[in-house]
Amino acid sequence: MNNRLSLSQAFVFLLRRDLLVALRNRAEYAMPILFFVLVITLFPLAIGPVPELLSRIAPGIVWVAALLAAMLSLDSIFRSDFDDGSLEQILLSPHPVAVLVLAKVCAHWLVTGLPLLIAAPLLGQMLGMPQQALPTLLLTILIATPVLSLIGAIGVALTVGLRKGGIILSLLVLPLYVPVLIFAASAVDNAAAGFDVSAQLTMLLAFLFLSLSLSPWATAAALRMSAS
């Protein structure tokens, strides 16, 4: 008798397990969002509290900060699993590793990407971003931060076995983030000026589907490499 779990059950199980672990490590997972707020606070301090200037560059600042916060949190996707040997167990599962990887990335996005959604409008206000840009800001964060997690997962999977992986990780991942940054910031910028943003949002959606379909495979291959 074969009572192996179906793939979707295994997916949900791993997702729940990761969320549970995150819940019991709350303090650690609050860091990225704190970092996000902190970076944005630095800008008015550095360039002066000039409302026109700040509101002009607010979309760019928010998105660069979101990018950095996403990158900072990446390491936690696979780090603890790699260190305690759980990763080996996942790789030795009869389920397709790419799907299990996707579950882990989803969990990671839920605890690190989604909170940005709450913080971003607040910070937009503090920087004097026009009201009409807020829905677009939220929409871009909703669509584009999963892309950051998915692409970042490849980078982490490649560097998780290294002692000093942090710097290399940013060198690997940031160039790949460029398209997301361009289209997301431009969407918010356009919305602030009252223009149409459907082109940018369509592109971001395309990035999302592309990374959803390709990144788990690359990540799984990279994890196999790191585990050997």
Partner 1 sequence: MFLWFHKFGSPPHFYRIAGKWIPWLSGLFLVLVTAGLFGGLIAAPPDYQQGDSYRIMFVHVPSAWMSMLVYVAMAVCGIIIMVWRMKLAEIVLISSAPIGASFTFLALVTGSLWGKPMWGTYWVWDARLTSELILLFLYLGIIGLHNAIEDKRVAARAVAILAIVGAVNVPIIHFSVEWWNTLHQGPTVTKFDKPSIYWSMLLPLLLMALSFQVYYVLALFQQCRAELLRRERNSKWVEEL
Partner 2 sequence: MSTSALLETRNLSCIRNDRHLFENLTISLEPGRILVVEGPNGCGKTSLLRILTGLRLADGGEVLWRGEPIGQQAADYYEQVNYVGHHDGVKNELSCIENLRLARAMGIPSNVGLDEILEQVNLYAYGDSDVASLSAGQKRRLALSRLLATESLLWILDEPFTSLDKDSMKLFGGLFEQHLQRGGIIVMTSHHDISLPQQALTRLKLGQQV
- Sites of contact with partner 1 (CB under 8 A): 154, 158-159, 161-162, 164-165, 168, 171-172, 174-176, 178-179, 182-183, 186, 207, 214, 218, 221-222, 225-226, 228
Binding partner of 171, given partner 2, partner 1, none, CB within 5-8 angstroms per partner class: partner 1
Binding partner of 57, given partner 1, partner 2, none, CB within 5-8 angstroms per partner class: none
Measured CA to CA, the distance from residue 220 to residue 158 in angstroms comes to 10
Interface with partner 2, residue 110, by CB under 8 A:
no
Interface with partner 2, residue 13, by CB under 8 A:
yes
Q: Residue 181 is encoded by which pair of tokens?
A: 């940054």
Single out the segment in contact with partner 2 by CB under 8 A; choices: 2-10, 47-55, 61-69, 165-173: 2-10
Phi, psi of 92 (to 5 degrees): -95, 15
Measured CA to CA, the distance from residue 200 to residue 182 in angstroms comes to 9
Of the candidates 170, 199, 196, 201, which has an alpha carbon nearest to the alpha carbon of residue 184? Answer: 201
Tell me which of 79, 80, 114, 221 binds partner 2, using CB under 8 A: 80
DSSP letter string, 169-182: HHHHHHHHHHHHHH
